[in-house]
């Protein structure tokens, strides 16, 4: 066994965030009797992604991000709604979105069967992530669910990895692998901490950055060959 512990990102690694996001947006806009169009979803995703990048860099707080993304969206589409209350309902609906990436169930089952220890390490909102994971078939699979909101640090900061290693009582970095879809968050974070990294890249996006993962996979099942 090359790796004793596998740290999994949650969104777009094991859980389909796009489906959960679309479900939440449609549900909360329906509450407000507003017809949500694909162009609104696309615009929201641009705004949201930029704010999450700012959060990764430590330039905005999680509370600011949660509300600001809707303030910006409403400003762009000229809609007069309260961003704070809207955001809270959105987070509620997002927590219902326990959609798994294809192959996630089978992968986790085999990884556990092979004797590896596994944990989630995510920058997501705590109540959303716990609800989504808790509603899924993977609910009882993880030794720990490590969320940035609990640690005071977000990936790629080494602080969240210090927290994870302490929780898992791990000392040997060579025995730990992080798996995630984000070069700037998961892979950069693993590199910063000195552990091996596996970039989950199902869309085969070109890597035009200086961030170089140890491994790259397009399907979750490919991970088994690396462990």
User: Are residues 80 and 109 both part of a single domain?
Assistant: no
In the chain, the percentage of residues whose pLDDT exceeds 70 is: 100
User: Are residues 126 and 77 both part of a single domain?
Assistant: no
User: Are residues 105 and 90 both part of a single domain?
Assistant: no
- Of the residues 9, 16, 181, 186, only one is catalytic, namely 9
What residues make up the domain containing 68?
Answer: 17-94
pLDDT score, position 164: 98
Domain boundary among 59, 94, 129: 94
Tell whether the model's pLDDT for residue 70 goes beyond 90. Answer: yes
User: Are residues 86 and 122 both part of a single domain?
Assistant: no
pTM of the model: 0.90
pLDDT score, position 7: 98
Tell whether the model's pLDDT for residue 35 goes beyond 90. Answer: no
User: Are residues 22 and 106 both part of a single domain?
Assistant: no
- Give me the CATH number covering residue 31: 1.10.150.240
Count: domains in the chain: 2
Greatest Cα pair distance, the chain, in angstroms, is 56
Question: Minimum mean pLDDT among 69-73, 75-79, 156-160, 172-176: which range?
Answer: 75-79
Question: If 0-12 CB within 10 Å is exposed, 13-18 middle and 19+ buried, where does residue 125 land?
Answer: buried
Catalytic annotation on 9?
A: yes
SS3 160: helix
Starting at the earlier edge strand, list the strands of the sheet with 5-8.
Answer: 144-147, 117-122, 5-8, 176-180, 196-200, 215-217
Q: What is the mean pLDDT of residues 21-47?
A: 91
Q: What is the mean pLDDT of residues 188-214?
A: 97
User: Are residues 107 and 173 both part of a single domain?
Assistant: yes
């Amino acid at each position: 066994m090359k790796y004793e512990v596998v740290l999994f990102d949650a969104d777009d690694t094991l859980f389909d965030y796009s489906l959960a996001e679309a479900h939440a947006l449609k549900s909360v806009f329906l509450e407000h009797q507003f017809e949500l169009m694909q162009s609104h979803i696309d615009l929201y995703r641009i705004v949201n992604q930029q704010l999450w990048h700012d959060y990764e860099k430590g330039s905005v707080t999680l509370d600011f991000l949660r509300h600001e993304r809707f303030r910006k969206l409403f400003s762009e589409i000229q809609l007069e709604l309260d961003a704070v209350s809207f955001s809270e309902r959105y987070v509620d609906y997002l927590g219902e979105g326990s959609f798994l990436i294809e192959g996630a169930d089978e992968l986790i089952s085999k990884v556990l069967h092979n004797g590896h220890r596994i944990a989630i390490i995510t920058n997501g909102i705590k109540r959303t992530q716990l609800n989504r994971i808790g509603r899924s078939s993977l609910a009882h699979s993880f030794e720990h669910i490590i969320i940035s909101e609990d640690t005071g640090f977000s990936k790629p900061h080494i602080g969240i990895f210090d927290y994870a290693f302490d929780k898992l009582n791990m000392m040997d970095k060579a025995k730990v692998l992080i798996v995630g879809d984000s070069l700037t968050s998961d892979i950069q974070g693993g590199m910063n901490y000195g552990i091996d990294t596996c970039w989950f890249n199902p869309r085969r996006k070109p890597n035009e950055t200086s961030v170089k993962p140890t491994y790259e996979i397009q399907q979750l099942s490919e991970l088994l060959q690396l462990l």
